[in-house]
Amino acid sequence: MDIPDVEPVAVEGRIRIPYRWPAGKAGGRFLAALRDESRLLGQRCPKCARVAVPPRPRCLSCGAVADEWVPVGPEGELVSWTVARGGPAPVAWGLVRLDGADTGVLHRLLDVAPEALKSGMRMRAVLDGRRTGQITDIAGFAPAGGATCNR
């Protein structure tokens, strides 16, 4: 069995579609608090007390509508990490469980040498100086101890 020779005719194309995605009721509250008050909010389930970040329509554990908001972070624990090396410079990514939250947030890791990364280490959120109401208002997470807002 082998691939036969065939005249290699192919058509080239490109699709560009702009989109706009609403963050919704819970997401709007979370992102507005981040943008306007530099606050990280968790969504606490009134039934099972699970605290979720980012917020969602219903509690993942029990399905109740979670409409209590509690402050989380800005520090937390690095659950796991990786350093991607496909681009011009290595970029570190990790899952950070903010203090007071049950879930982790996937984000960039800043101001840390790849060799220094360790699961379980303490991290803090670094907020972007320019706010747009998006998750990238958190610029990333850096080792705990420095300033929360430095960009």
Instruction: Evaluate whether 76 touches 101 at the Cβ level (below 8 Å).
Output: yes
Shortest spacing between CB 31 and other proteins, in angstroms? 8
- Identify the residue among 63, 116, 136, 150 touching other proteins (CB under 8 A): 136
Site residues for other proteins, 66-95, by CB under 8 A, read: 79-86, 91, 93-95
Shortest spacing between CB 84 and other proteins, in angstroms? 4
Phi, psi of 36 (to 5 degrees): -95, -30
Q: Which residues, listed in sequence order, are joined to residue 81 by a DSSP beta bridge? A: 94
Give the torsion sign (CA, 122, 124, 125, 129).
negative
Tell me how crowded residue 93 is: count the other CB atoms within 10 A of its CB. Answer: 15
| CA atoms of 8 and 56, how far apart (whole Å) | 49
Nearer to other proteins, 135 or 144 (CB): 135
* Interface ranges with other proteins (CB under 8 A): 1-6, 8, 10, 13, 15, 19, 21, 23, 27, 52-54, 56, 60, 79-86, 91, 93-95, 97, 102-108, 114, 118-119, 134-136
